[in-house]
Amino acid sequence: MVQTTRETSALQPEVVQALQTPGTWAWAYVDASGNREDPRRIAALQRRTVSDALAGQGCSERAAQIIEEELVEQPGVPAPVARYVLVRDDELVLSEVLPGHLHGQESIGTGAVPDLLPLLAHRPFDLPFTVVTVGREGGGFRSYRLGHAPTGAAEDEQRVQGRTDTLHKAKSGAGWKQPHWHQHAEEIWRQTAGEVAAAIEETVRATSPRLIVLAGDVRARELLRGELSTSTRALVTEVAVDTRADDASEKALVQHVDLALARILASRRHDVQDLLRTHEGRGDNESVSGLGSVVSALQQAQAAVVALDAGALGDRTLYALDAAPWVATAPEQAAGATVLGQVPAVCALVRAIVLTDAELVLVNAASLPSGAPASALLRWPVGPAVPA
């Protein structure tokens, strides 16, 4: 059996449940950044473009209206930012603000199966992380999740205020008092660091972050690291900026967080590609390559991780089903389920991945065995070939 680290799905349970019920879907995935000249006019034009595109594909007037109304709302998140709105049978299922640039092209459509790829591109798996800013007088931190806009909820943010008396060490010329005040100030800073560390440890136990980004005063960062447990310290990456200084420092922090998250995603992608090559080389039947083989694995809920190059699928199509096995390469593979329609292969595959609780990893086909557009790591090995 393939041993893989299963990441928790980033899709809400209610969305997964909605995908199991047949209906007519409509969706829009667009850039919602407001850092453009005359942003209101551009946003209004964009909404009209979305509505016209949906109408041209036969979308109901009500579904198009719901999507347009959702796009009116300002994201409330600094650019770049995208919006994803999903409607089924004229009822809103999902409306999400997705921090960051568009992952690929805009997607606007209607049909028996929605295009979930943009959503999972922003949220390939549930990745909680924490950003900490510290000074000698205390510190604060906030918890986030990859691909989720900040909610502003009180439980997501904490501040710890330490003692403010004698925060600064004595300057030269203080005479015999200087060593005493140096020691006193250092002890206050250390106590404050311990209080901040205790709050962070509690958050780590509650949210299990994969990453902790630490910014702020250099001495305060040093003291805080010393107060953290070994396991928590292993999650920490430091950025040498104090966000209270200026806007440039804030931007540097954002860039550092983005880079750290990108490294985690790249590491996961590399691990999956390495496992696929290893199993392919061994011929141990614990992985499969090729569109047909991956569909077969998904039909049996056998795929643990699916590595996919969406672009390499081109204009290929698959059959979407209203019940398990959810996807088929031909109507005769429906196994008693009703065929919803022949849809783009990427839409059918991503839906089946979600419904079978598999993990999606987006890759380049050149990195996959035999250059196939899709490969999968299996929950259990396929059986030996049956002799003709």
**For the segment 30-65, what is each residue's pLDDT rounded down to a tens digit?**
999 876 677 788 889 999 999 999 999 999 999 999
User: Is pLDDT larger for residue 158 or for residue 151?
Assistant: 158
pLDDT of residue 175: 47
* 8 band by pLDDT with thresholds 50, 70 and 90: low
pLDDT of residue 163: 53
Give the span between the Cα atoms of 354 and 347, in whole angstroms.
11
Q: Angle at which helices 345-355 and 291-299 pack, to 10 degrees?
A: 30
- Residues, the chain: 388
Give the span between the Cα atoms of 111 and 23, in whole angstroms.
8
E strand intervals along 217-352: 236-238, 287-289, 303-308, 317-321, 327-328, 339-344
Q: What is the pLDDT of residues 362-387, one digit of tens each?
A: 999 999 888 999 999 999 998 765 45
Element (H, E) at 362: strand 359-362
Give the span between the Cα atoms of 173 and 195, in whole angstroms.
32
CB 26 within 8 A of CB 53: no
pLDDT of residue 191: 87
- Identity of residue 247: D
Global pTM reads 0.85
Give the span between the Cα atoms of 298 and 300, in whole angstroms.
5
